[in-house]
Amino acid sequence: MRRLSLTSFLSLSAALHAATAAQNPCRCLYGDPSWPSQSEFAHLATQVSQPLIHPEPPAKPCYTSVNTSECVEVTNGWTDGNWRANQTGSMQSPNFETFTFPNGTVEECLLNTTLALPCGQGSVSAIGVDARSVGDIQAAVKFAAEHNLRVVVKNTGHDYCGRSAARGSFLVWTHNLKNITVHPSFTPAGAPINETFEYAITLGAGVQWHEAYAAANASGRTLVGGTSHGGSVGAAGGWLQGGGHSSLSASFGLGVDNVLEFSIVTSNGSYIVTNAHQYPDLFWALRGGGGGTFGVVISVTYRTRPTFPIMTVFLTATANTSTPNSGLSQAFTELVRITPQLTDQGWGGYAPFNNPTSNSTSFTVISIVPTISQDAAGQANATMTGYLVYLQELAANSTQSGNPADAVTLQGASTTSFASWYDWYTALWSTGEQEGIGLGAEVGSWLIPRDLVGSDHERVAQTLLSIPQAGWFMVAGGAVSNVTASDTGLNPAWRTAAAHVPFGFTWTEGTTLDEINALRDTLKSNIAKLRALAPESGAYLNEASLYEPDSAHSFFGSHYDQLRAIKAIYDPVDLFIVVEGVASNEWDGSLTCRKPT
């Protein structure tokens, strides 16, 4: 009897699953008559290595007593990204733990119990699997497909669209897949024997950046990865599958440009190792097509680079106003103008604007450049030094102008060297709390094209200056632009961008719905401002607005149709559907029922 190849099996499975999907237009949620019985869950429990988990909102212990040790732990950890990542029911932004009914009633579980509201499950998953192996995930996925469950995949809960939670859902929790393997020599599966990479690193789906960086550094290597205080973001999940920007992107590309291989379980339970030689269509899609969309990623193998020294600048420019022609406006406008030159030379980093107040507004520049080559380092130093001299002269002239509103104050306007990128990371980012963790949060973003900066940098700068807490992130250009747009499934707008502009707002518990809606209206207005600058560009899927009028174009651009076709092969039943992800527009707003065809 001839065995089917995995490709043939997938094609046959796709046809069978598509027929089944047509008969099951709605997912089964907790509380539905079709929800699996206790005996069925008990049978699942015999197939996995850990007891089934029953996630709860993280604040729930405080509803017993605020004086219990459990509540004290919750209170102490509430704004700690790594603590929240360790909780099965926690999202980094608690608003995504909540659920709003059609009548506007909100079910949630607040830390501030004095508000006298009941603790509800909200959007926290009802039950799930604590995955520790490929077999655990295969069992979980097969069970979910068999019972037509609403599935969410979660590692750390870092998701500004709440893709790691859904009311009444079945959770595949990958947080404890912590294996890290450093390969002195790595050949991708199916590749020619002479295609080897020195010191590649394989990370399990639950590895976080602080763990990955420490492991790479112990081997004298450097990884292109995310930067946030505490390093709590997952290194092998949504960050990567959505693109993955880094302070090193201008020098070495995005996360998707540094991946050698994925291992993944698809919706029929198949375990696949995919790279440029095996299932290249899936490899293409996973590099930018979005997390939780094509299957459950088990591990990722990245290329690494030898440790190298870096040059860095950390400065803050402060003034009384950022209105057009003010000193601060000129300082920021010049940064926008020279950004393409900076990123071409390898400078990468972040320039967030602080929220203007009645008497002060400021922006900060945190930027680095590898100094591997003396010639390249000299050119990069000359460009940045020129900008710093410009700022110093601007500050001096604005102070002498006699107009207090124009006066610019500078802090730290000089370059500093570090022996390695890891030294810089540990000095600035390895401790502390990531801004906004434990608060309600919504964000938006837009990619600003390089040609627009070249032709009208002043309009770009003035538009950004009108958006509170916007950021000018120099994580595009340079090496990011040197990759052909068709090489990965990533939104092609990244390849022509000069910079990535994220922005958003946060709120504390007790903020009224009217107040939150007013903030949302402002967010929508600011998104529209940036979209009007470059309507044919796009946005970053991982720092995404929930209010994009055409999310398929905004987040995937011309790659959407191809991504949808690949999803139909590897997930024909649409088991993996996430907010604003591929195929999500074919489902209702709650992603529970398919829209009629």
Residue 476 pLDDT exceeds 70: yes
| pLDDT: which is higher, 353 or 437 | 437
Number of CB atoms found within 10 A of residue 162's CB: 20
pLDDT at 408: 86
Choose among 138, 139, 129, 149: nearest CA to 53.
Answer: 129
Q: What pLDDT digit, counting tens, does each position of 484-512 carry?
A: 999 999 999 999 999 999 999 999 998 98
**Residue 9: which pLDDT band, with cuts at 50, 70 and 90?**
very low
Across 408-437, average pLDDT: 89
Q: Order across the sheet with 151-154: list the strands.
A: 127-130, 170-173, 151-154
Q: What pLDDT digit, counting tens, does each position of 301-330 carry?
A: 999 999 999 999 999 998 877 677 788 889
pLDDT at 11: 53
Phi, psi of 585 (to 5 degrees): -70, -5
Q: What pLDDT digit, counting tens, does each position of 531-587 carry?
A: 999 999 999 999 999 999 999 999 999 999 999 999 999 999 999 999 999 999 999
Across 373-379, average pLDDT: 76
pLDDT at 17: 47
Q: Rg of the chain's alpha carbons, rounded to an integer?
A: 24
As a residue count, the chain comes to 597
Residue 1 pLDDT exceeds 50: no
Across 239-264, average pLDDT: 98
Query: Is the CB of residue 47 less than 8 Å from the CB of residue 133?
Result: no
Residue 358 pLDDT exceeds 50: no
Question: Can you tell me the distance from the alpha carbon of 326 to that of 401, in angstroms, rounded to the nearest whole number?
Answer: 11
Across 192-197, average pLDDT: 94
pLDDT at 340: 97
**Residue 402: which pLDDT band, with cuts at 50, 70 and 90?**
low
Query: Is the CB of residue 443 less than 8 Å from the CB of residue 543?
Result: yes
**Residue 3: which pLDDT band, with cuts at 50, 70 and 90?**
very low
Choose among 187, 210, 50: nearest CA to 130.
Answer: 50
Residue 478 pLDDT exceeds 50: yes
Residue 51 pLDDT exceeds 80: yes
pLDDT at 326: 83
Beta-carbon-side half-sphere exposure of residue 75 (alpha carbons within 13 Å): 12
The CA distances from residue 382 to 341, 365, 379, 418, in Å, are: 11, 17, 5, 18
In percent, the amount of the chain with pLDDT more than 70 equals: 94
Identity of the residue numbered 23: Q
Q: What pLDDT digit, counting tens, does each position of 424-465 carry?
A: 999 999 877 777 899 999 999 999 999 999 999 999 999 999
Query: Is the CB of residue 183 less than 8 Å from the CB of residue 201?
Result: yes
> Is 596 exposed, middle or buried, given 0-12, 13-18 or 19+ CB atoms closer than 10 A?
exposed
pLDDT at 19: 54
The DSSP code for 134 is H
Across 272-287, average pLDDT: 98
Structural domains in the chain? 6-174+559-586 (3.30.43.10), 180-306 (3.30.465.10), 310-557 (3.40.462.20)
**Residue 244: which pLDDT band, with cuts at 50, 70 and 90?**
very high
Across 2-15, average pLDDT: 48
Task: Return the C-alpha torsion angle 156, 123, 593, 583, nearest 10.
Answer: -30
pLDDT at 328: 87
Mapping DSSP to helix (H, G, I), strand (E, B) and coil, where does residue 232 land?
A: coil
Residue 6 pLDDT exceeds 70: no
Identity of the residue numbered 392: Q
Residue 379 pLDDT exceeds 90: no
Across 472-482, average pLDDT: 97
| pLDDT: which is higher, 136 or 467 | 136
Q: Both tokens of residue 451?
A: 């040609």
Residue 205 pLDDT exceeds 70: yes
Choose among 368, 348, 469: nearest CA to 422.
Answer: 368
Contacts by 505-512, CB closer than 8 A, 24 or more apart = 505/441, 505/442, 505/469, 506/436, 506/439, 506/440, 506/441, 507/439, 507/440, 507/441, 508/439, 508/440, 509/94, 509/110, 509/111, 509/112, 509/115, 509/440, 510/110, 510/112, 510/115, 511/440
pLDDT at 8: 52
Query: Is the CB of residue 538 less than 8 Å from the CB of residue 554?
Result: yes
Provide the b/e sequence for 120-139 (b: ≥16 CB within 10 Å).
bbbbbbbbbbbbbebebbbb
Across 519-525, average pLDDT: 95
Question: CA 484: distance to chain centroid?
Answer: 22
Phi, psi of 240 (to 5 degrees): -75, -50
**Entry pTM:** 0.93
Residue 377 pLDDT exceeds 80: no
Choose among 202, 183, 257, 184: nearest CA to 224.
Answer: 257
Mean pLDDT of the chain: 92
